Amino acid sequence: MKHCEHVYGTKMEVFIEKSKQTLQHKPCTGAQLLKSLDINPQTVLLVRNDEVVLDHEELSEDDKVKILSVVSGG
């Protein structure tokens, strides 16, 4: 499996809601992105350009990706 890395200087922008972090990431699938960030897919929604996408979908350059946290509350 091709592993992707979060590298500064590439075009895919990823916002992580839980940590309120924005980072640049090489294009890859949603599942690869979550794996590289060590995020359990059960705990998040993957949103590409304001549309929910499934984990297996490809995320490309110029995409704005959000990783929304499912777990909240106390």
Tell the smallest beta-carbon distance from residue 22 to another protein (Å).
14
Which DSSP letter does residue 30 get?
H
How many other C-beta atoms are found inside a 10 Å radius of the C-beta of residue 4?
A: 19
Task: Closer to another protein by CB, 50 or 62: give it.
Answer: 50
Task: Tell me the two tokens of residue 3.
Answer: 């592993």
Single residue of 2, 3, 56, 62 touching another protein by CB under 8 A: 56
CA 10 from chain centre, in angstroms, equals 14
Q: Contact between 2 and another protein (CB under 8 A)?
A: no
Tell the smallest beta-carbon distance from residue 9 to another protein (Å).
27
